Amino acid sequence: MIVDVVSLFPELVSAALSHSIPQRVVDKGLAQLNLIQLRDYGTGKYRSVDDYPYGAGGGMVMACEPLGQCLDALMEKNHYDQVIYLSPDGDRFNQPMANRLSLSKRLLLLCGHYKGIDQRIRDQYITMEISIGDYVLSGGELAAAVVVDSLFRLLPGAISDETSALTDSFQDGLLAPPVYTRPEVWRGHAVPPVLLSGHEAEIARWRHEQALERTRQRRPDLLD
């Protein structure tokens, strides 16, 4: 998989993804992450990429020309399965979406900033819009890092025990059950006996029941 990220602050994306699983995925050659500085396509002495909005109002808007030039240059050289804009009003990112996108060969992620990007760019270039939640960030960089992290960890070979990713929360529409490790008893609290039984079917049944109960208590909307 190759992911190209267009941003005014690519160092924010790099900082979030240069550790743990995402960095190991890149080091192993399982994926490639390219960070593109949008200001390289800016205009004037200060490489400006924004302007005042038509119709007045506060804030600045990322302008068509630098965005168009950048996207044209990338799309002329590469084929993208999706051109994604990170936006608060995009489709809510979730595990099924991550699963689907992880099968892509190449993705382009565009990080907005200020009041967002000119609508004409969204209309003409963007094929998918993603939101990571009902709140507003300073820019799309951290949202892009969240998306990339969730995709990279799903790639074959990213995690040494590949069954681990398959039992994460949301993979089966439920929250994950409780997990335990050594010692068997800690400060008077013991590990549930079924996990020490060695009976795989009973353990699987217990975990499913615990996942259902945790989902029922914390995220009943998932059961709907």
Give percent of the chain above pLDDT 90. Answer: 90
pTM of the full structure: 0.91
Residues 6+ apart with CB under 8 A from 30: 1, 152, 155, 156, 157, 158
Inter-CA distances, 214 with 91, 133, 167, 169, Å: 26, 22, 15, 11
| Average pLDDT of the residues in 99-106 | 98
Residues 6+ apart with CB under 8 A from 140: 7, 85, 86, 87, 109, 110, 111, 112, 113
Residues 6+ apart with CB under 8 A from 221: none
Architecture of the CATH domain 2-152: 3-Layer(aba) Sandwich (3.40)
**Which pLDDT score is estimated for 179?**
96
Q: Where in the chain is the domain with CATH 3.40.1280.10?
A: 2-152
Let me know if domain 167-223 sits in CATH 1.10.1270.20: yes
| Average pLDDT of the residues in 122-140 | 97
